[in-house]
Amino acid sequence: MHARRYVEPASGMKGSLPAILAAGFVIAACSSSGGGTTTGGSGGMGGNTTGGTVETGGSTSSGTPATGGTTTTTTASTGGTPTAGSGGTTTASGGKTTATGGTTTATGGRTTATGGTTTASGGRTTATGGVAMDAGVDVHADVLQDGSGNALDAHSDVRGDVAIDGPADDTPPSTFDATLGGTMFVANGEIFDPTGAAFLPWGVNKAHVDQENTGLEITGMNAVRVNLYFRLPNATTTSLFDRFYAAHIVVIPGRWDATCMEGNTFATTLATDVDAWVAEAAAWKKYERASMINISNEAGPSNSTVWRDQYITAVGRMRAAGYGGLLMIDSGGCGQDVDDIAKYGADVLVADPLHNIVFSLHVYGDTPDVTTLNTNLDRLKATGLAFVIGEFGPGRNIGPSPTDLAPADLMASALARGIGALAWAADDNDLPNSMADDNWFCMFYNLTKAYTGDAADLTIFGKVVVNDPTVGLLAVARKAGGF
């Protein structure tokens, strides 16, 4: 698959100095201390309480029910048999009780409250005498340790009111605890902002950091993916990002050096992209809380373990360099291959010590119609991985990877499935002097003119992306919190 387009410089200027890109902080480990006692909470209205104080030997005393609730006493020594709370279910795994419907979950004397129960300060109960959890542990609930006070391993999966000690290497964890790192994160196939609210990226790509696109913020977009191919001085790039960040728009910086590269060239160029990220790891730390880092644009072969293995290496290097936030990884085959994500995305996620990756599919000529699109999206949704449509164009058989798929139809399919979508592009102009027409990928006719909301300034493509009453940015996009 050849590159789908040639990007005309917006202003005819290309800088030579490297732009400094986003970075992050390492998530701090949680720890506990003392002698192994956990005190159970009390049930909320209509709820039940199971749990209490763990004594040596694993005995659990009953808690006190709230109004309308019942009390269940569970004795669960090591390897013992658990008893379900009223209205709940029993999970027999080393003396573990899981109750649903507003109950407390007890695991060897560990109490977790969900739906009408009480936990320790901060929404988590941690047994004393426990072992500190490392930064890679995957937790998105109220439990940090198992009944023996040991840290859960890096692939333990905790959801809501069910605690599951997962296998070490074959099941990808589906959740991430934002409270540990304070960044955007993925859980159960969705993206969440740093406050824990679900976030649907609904925005645009920006091809040129040398083009200000004054007024782009008022299109309603909540995310912008920025092509850093033109490496202008740091002040130019950071000024652009400061502007978007101040408008509570999630920034997604990416590198374009390995676009459509395959084979040995892919491995070498991807490594070069990561070299640059590593070298610049401290520069954009302030953006990490509400940003995603797109490691490399459209890099790698289709349906390939090479794509998988090279990205496992790349992610490991990014984490070691201090990037603690949400990473974005494009599929191979110029970004259009479904198989890379469907077959190997879970392997890449599991290998990430923070399990915090969103995958990206680009939709062009490999997706000729809505039927193909929906089949591909449903296949990827079935994986349980978080992913977005990282690029889509104007349809109408435009460009070197043409499709008749209409952007409004694509956006409707994505929206119906809770999948984010980013239009390519606000400023991919095809005419000199920062001008564009309706025969390419640009959303604005004149990139030197400030956008004030006048639909006459938008191309055919731009009118759909911004103003469509059902799927446009103004109708759909909701800003992230946590800036």
Give the mean pLDDT of the chain: 73
Q: Report the amino acid identity of residue 108.
A: G
117-121, 137-141, 161-165, 220-224: range with lowest mean pLDDT: 161-165
Distances (CA, A) of 46 to 29, 67, 97, 103, 438: 35, 6, 19, 9, 61
Sole residue written with tokens 């520069």: 283
pLDDT for 167: 30
What are 195's two structure tokens? 């406050």
User: Which stretch, 150-154, 238-242, 391-395, has highest mean pLDDT?
Assistant: 391-395
What distance in Å separates the CA atoms of residue 336 and residue 87, rounded to the nearest whole number? Answer: 47
Q: Considering all CA atoms of the chain, what is the largest pairwise distance in Å, rounded to the nearest integer?
A: 78
Q: Which residues of 292-327 are buried (b: 16+ CB within 10 A; e: fewer)?
A: bbbbbbbbbbbbbebbbebbbebbebbbebebbbbb
The fraction of the chain above a pLDDT of 90, given in percent, is 57
DSSP 39-99: ------TT-BEE---BPTT-BB------TT--EE--B--TT----PPTT-B---SSSEEB-
Domain segments of the chain as ranges: 33-166, 191-476
Fold of 191-476: TIM Barrel (3.20.20)
Contact at 8 Å (CB) between 369 and 404?
A: yes
Comparison of pLDDT for 300 and 57, the residue scoring more: 300
Per-residue model confidence (pLDDT) at position 419: 98
81-114 per-position pLDDT tens digit: 333 333 333 333 333 333 333 333 333 333 333 3
191-218 pLDDT per residue, tens: 999 999 999 999 999 999 989 999 999 9
Question: Model confidence over 404-441: pLDDT tens digits?
Answer: 999 999 999 999 999 999 999 999 999 999 999 999 99
pLDDT of residue 94: 33
- DSSP assignments along 277-291, one per residue: HHHTTTTBGGGGGGB
CA atoms of 239 and 244, how far apart (whole Å): 9
Share of the chain above pLDDT 70, in %: 62
The whole-number pLDDT of residue 181 equals 58
pLDDT in tens, 34-57: 333 333 333 333 333 333 333 333
Q: In what order do the strands lie in the sheet with 110-113?
A: 96-97, 104-107, 110-113
Q: In terms of pLDDT, which residue wins out, 482 or 34?
A: 482
Cis peptide before 346 (omega within 30 of 0): no
